[in-house]
Chains A and B, each alone.
Chain A
Amino acid sequence: MGTVIQASYFLAAFLFIIGLKRMSSPVTARGGIIWAGLGMLLATLVTFAYPGMHNYPLMLVAIFVGSVLAWVSGKRVAMTGMPQMIALYNGMGGGAAGAIAAVELAKVAGGRADLDVVTMTLAVLGGLIGSVSFSGSMIAFAKLQGLIKKSLVFPGQQLLNLAIFAAILGVGGYIVLGEPLGLPVALFFGAALVFGILMTLPIGGADMPVVISLYNALTGLAVAFEGFVLNNAAMIIAGTVVGSAGTLLTQLMAKAMNRSLANVLFSGFGTTTAGGEEAVEGSLKPIEATDAAIMMAYAQKVIIVPGYGMAVAQAQHKIWELAEQLRKRDVMVKFAIHPVAGRMPGHMNVLLAEAGVPYDLIFDLDEINPEFPQADVALVIGANDVVNPIARSDPSSPIYGMPILDVDKARNTIVIKRGAGKGFAGIENHLFYADNTRMLYGDGQKMAGELIQGMKQL
Chain B
Amino acid sequence: MRNKTHNEQIERWAKYVKDNPSRWKEKLKPFLDSQIIISRRFYSKLAETEKGRKKISLLRNTKILISS
Do A and B bind? no
